Every structure is written in C-alpha cells, then in structure tokens.
Structure 1
C-alpha cells in the first residue's frame, strides 16, 4: 500500500504563510515532525518528500502548478506511483469554516475551491480524503481573492496555527492507524 498526502498552495515567496497555503504549511510541519525535506521534481511539477510509516510508503506532495492547476500535478503522480484515489489525501484551506476549524471527509465536491476543482477534473472522482482547515470569510469589504492571498491578522494567527497542528495530528493518526475514519472521528469539529 502507498499513500499520498497532497498539500495545496501557491509556490513562491510572496505566497508563503498566506491563507491559501494552509496545505503547504501543514505538510511542512508534518515533514518536520518526520525529519523529512522536500526535493523539487520538475517532471511532476511538485516538491516531494517520502518516507515509510508502519511499512507503508508515504509521499508528501506540494504541487508547484499554482492552486488553480493542482490537478495537473496530482493526476500524473497518482498514475506514476499507481496510487488509488482512495489512498489520496488532500489538505487545503476552507473559507466556509471558522479559522482553525478542522473538517475531514472521505469524499466531496469542490465547494468552490479551485484547487479541489482542478483535482476533481483531472482524476475524475471525488472519492479521495479531504482535510479542510478553516480560514474564515473575508472581513469587511475585502474580496475573496485578497482574503485567501493575505496572511492571517493578529486575531486569527493563533487559531490558524492551532488548526495546522490539529491537521498534522490527524494525518499522523491516519498514517499510524491506516484508518481515515479514525482520524475523522478523532479530529472532526
């Protein structure tokens, strides 16, 4: 069995620590816990780290295609490593949840999230694990684009960090138990 964890985000310094990069940030923390470092793979347009957990191969993937084209990186990787979509977990920001709230699902539609929309279009199924980390709705008159591409303000920084920590703990539970439902039951809010 092989598992693939994909964190969604946008590459480049200007997007580091923005709300839309919650998937990248969660995978960075998970890689740090496992003592892994990412290597850029130009063929697959991704940064990739790999390890074994309980004898199972696990790939951590950060697509470098920019959010709206995430599926262009994910689909070829699934095919190359012969990974069933049900062994794919995608970690991403969720504007429909309060900052830091964690929601895990075994399948789902895009909910308007362009990164998920791209993956759905490229792999042709919604039957993959979703880990959504809440980033809240835009405050005041801020546009959705400006909201997701901005960093957390002082009020939201702590809950966002806690959400990332919960996402990492949920992924470790999933990998240790080989049971996404166990992670769902333990971490869904």
Structure 2
C-alpha cells in the first residue's frame, strides 16, 4: 500500500495558488488513475484504488489534508496510522520556493528548509519520507513570501506548472514501480 499526500490549503480562495501545487498533483493522479478523492476521514479527503503501473498492480491511497498547510502532519500521521502504512511507503508532494518554477526534485528525508507543512510532518512522522518537491520559484523581495505562495500562478507560469504536474505523475509512478533511486536519476533536474 502506498499513501500519496499532496500538501495545500483547503478552500476555494486557495485552489489555484502556488502553495496548493501538491493538491494539483493529487487531482492529476486522481484523473490518471481514476481514483476519486471524496471520502473524509483522518483530517483528510482521500480515495483508495488499485493501479496498474508497468504491468503490476499497486494499492494506492491519494489524500489531501483538511488541516491547512501548517498542520499537515496531523493528517499525515492519522492517515498513516489509520491505514497502517509505513513511512517508507508515503510520498508527500509539496511546493518548494528554493527550486526554479517548473522543476521537480525527489528527495528522501532531509530538512524542511522552512516549509511549515513539511516541518509539521517531520514533527509527527518518523523519517524517511519520500518527497516530491515542485519548484514554484521565489519572489524578488523576501518579505513577500507569504503573499507570493498564496497567489495564483500567472499566465506566463501556467505552462511550466501544467508540465511539471504531468511529469510528477510519471515520477510518482516510477517511485512506486522502480524505486526512489531510479526515479531520482530519471526526474531530478
């Protein structure tokens, strides 16, 4: 069983913001794998299904925490305990200010680098957690970070984000079917 969690904030006003790119990847996985994310439990919306990747069947749970970003660890811990998923089978997808817009990096463990959603998870869940980091770039003025992550992507940024979301689906399929190291070699830029 693999638990795939996209980080973001709930509510219409946050739907297309930079901070919600994790939710966007879950939505894309939901479409690609035909798993509806519509059950509410464990402080999350989730869906379960079996997915065929490269000829093998995998049991998958897709989830979006309902705790808001900074308390994501609560939902991750409850999902993990509720479905008896070990930390080595958890993939967390989140935005990353330190990566250029549209880039993707797969990482196991490591520091939270100031990301409060990741920090919340690390406080409650034992490493190693597999993370798919989606680059959203950084604002020119460091004081504008909070507003920046809560803004929608601009017209000129949408192509890069749609592309990295599609690549994230392939990266997650590779992590599940071939392992993290293979996925890192193939997708880390």
Shared fold (TM-score, shorter chain, > 0.5): yes
Residues 24-70 of structure 1: CA deviation (Å, up to 9, x unaligned) = 000100110111211131x3111101111333311111001000000
SS of the aligned residue for 2:8 comes to: coil
TM-score scaled by length of structure 1: 0.93
Matched ranges for 1:83-102 at <5 A? 83-102=85-104
Bigger Cα displacement from structure 2, 73-82 vs 89-98: 73-82
Would the aligned equivalents of 2:42 and 2:82 in 1 still touch at CA under 8 Å? Answer: no
- Listed as ranges, the matches of 1:1-189 within 5 Å are 2-41=1-40, 43-53=41-51, 54-123=56-125, 125-140=126-141, 143-177=144-178, 179-189=179-189
Unaligned runs of 5+ in 2: none
Q: Within 1, Cα distance between the matches of 2:142 and 2:124?
A: 34
Q: Residues 125-165 of structure 1: CA distance to partner in whole angstroms, max 9, x if unpaired?
A: 23110100000001457611100000111222211111111
- Give the number of equivalent residue pairs: 185
2: CA distance, partners of 1:11 / 1:40: 15
Q: Is the 8 A contact 2:107 2:131 kept in 1?
A: yes
Runs of 4+ in 1 over 4 A off after TM superposition: none
Cα shift readout 1:85-118 (whole Å, capped 9, x = no counterpart): 0111100000001001001012211110000000
SS of equivalent residue, structure 2 residue 19: helix
- Taking a change above 3 Å as real, the CA distance of residues 146 and 182 of structure 1, as seen in their structure-2 partners, is same
**What TM-score, normalized to structure 2?**
0.93
Distance 1:79 1:104 in 2: 24
- Aligned counterparts of 2:93 and 2:2: Cα–Cα separation in 1: 13
CA contact (8 A) 1:108 1:130 kept: no
What is the CA RMSD across the aligned residues, in angstroms? Answer: 1.4
